[in-house]
Copies of this chain bind each other. A is one copy, B any other.
């Protein structure tokens, strides 16, 4: 095969970016270029999505789509200040929204979203504009920290004031609202500074959960909030979600409390209502995921609850996990004896290796996760340094739930080009992209994370093949039954084909 033909096949023409010169000038058939093409072809064949064969209509759409991607990347290559994944998401979210690639990724049927946390599933706009404007919401200021809760009559534990009244009487409503926003989300003007350290970012994240949970645990709000969570993902072209929930008690204004079984029932009921309202949404499942900051006795209680939940709602409860900052909580090895003995019937979905600390107990959570037969690995940020565990993950087909924006905002990596998932993509490890806590940092649905992964983490050459693979992975690696998966694939494929058709129409009309 001639060098020139190979060059065309492998897109050499695009390789010389900064200096667009014809590298074949004057040279014909040449061993060097054949060997080079073989090496590049070998590496491409390992990349995620390399097994996907695009149809003609997809190839056509791909060409138009890649033109947009390469323009965006090459502009940034010449002026790196335009390269958004190098900057904290909180600072450049609005710029992402102007990207043509992002707009298309929003339209793209992305399959399922498999890793996120209940109380951060919904955009901060809804949280602020809807929830904080509801009647009966009280606020209390304790040493500069705001607390929020719904009451008919506030308790005496705090100097509760009706938020609507506070807003009416505020000397500066803008200030008050800004303060509220910064209390119920991680919004800040200088995220690079505020969240420089993982620990300070995590502390703010945990504190924010502590602030919003009492507000969101009011049963009517919780139901609306959860419906909204499904809606925002649905509107972002997601057809199924799987999320971690700590299952803290809900409350009603009359003092009634709802325990884990009730909460799951409520979420299940809301999900069923949502699916009735949106028949092209397949559903949701919950992974019971209480805090890892506990002792063995507490863990045993958790496992008892988990068994109870899975036996009562087998089609809605997917399994068990532990949450909280891994570096500050107990490593999985601490719980391993109980977890390895008592797992019967319960599937694990462990957070593991969400850490920068190579060689620590936290770093080795990836070892325990695999030994404990985890169904998926949450984050797996540390897996890069664990060649054996990566081998096992590939062999046993254990997917890694990659959360680009979360890892950045929580301080693990600044420039997403340094995210370890680049290596997972390059080697075709099983990956799904998820959003972790979109409501914390201003994301909505999954498209922002897809954008960051596609532009910031994946190769310049990664295209619709890789994106299609990610969507298919998300359905394949979900906890849906085989029947549900077939249904999901059926819906997804229909939407995917419509998306391809739209891309082609769009391209022709430009």
Contact = CB atoms under 8 A, between A and B. Distances in A.
Interface in A1-23: 12, 15-19, 21, 23
A428 to B, nearest CB: 9
A40 B462 contact: no
A462 to B, nearest CB: 7
Contacts of A36: 333, 336, 367-368, 371
A337 B22 CA distance: 12
Contacts of A462: 359
Contacts of A17: 357, 360-362
Interface string A372-412: 00000000000011111100000000000000000000001
Contacts of A328: 18
Interface string A46-73: 1000000000000000000000000000
Interface in A169-223: 192, 197-199
A356 to B, nearest CB: 4
Interface string A330-344: 110110110010000
A396 to B, nearest CB: 13
Contact of A334 (B19, B77, B385): B19
A426 interface: yes
B333 A23 contact: yes
Contact of A357 (B35, B77, B199): B77
A347 B461 CA distance: 32
A280 to B, nearest CB: 35
A: contact size bracket: 35 or more
A426 B386 contact: yes
A81 B337 CA distance: 34
A388 to B, nearest CB: 5
Interface stretch (A102-110, A154-162, A415-423): A415-423
Given A15-B333, A199-B80, A415 B414 contact: yes
B77 A385 contact: no
Nearest to A367: B39
A43 B418 CA distance: 23
A304 interface: no
Nearest to A428: B387
Count chain B CB atoms within 10 A of each CB in A357, A358, A389, A462 and give the residue with the most: A358
Given A17-B361, A358-B460, A418-B413, A39 B389 contact: yes
A80 B459 CA distance: 32
26 contacts: A16-B331, A17-B360, A17-B362, A18-B331, A18-B361, A23-B334, A32-B336, A36-B336, A39-B388, A39-B389, A42-B388, A43-B367, A77-B327, A77-B360, A356-B415, A358-B426, A358-B457, A358-B460, A359-B461, A359-B462, A386-B426, A387-B426, A412-B418, A413-B415, A420-B423, A423-B423
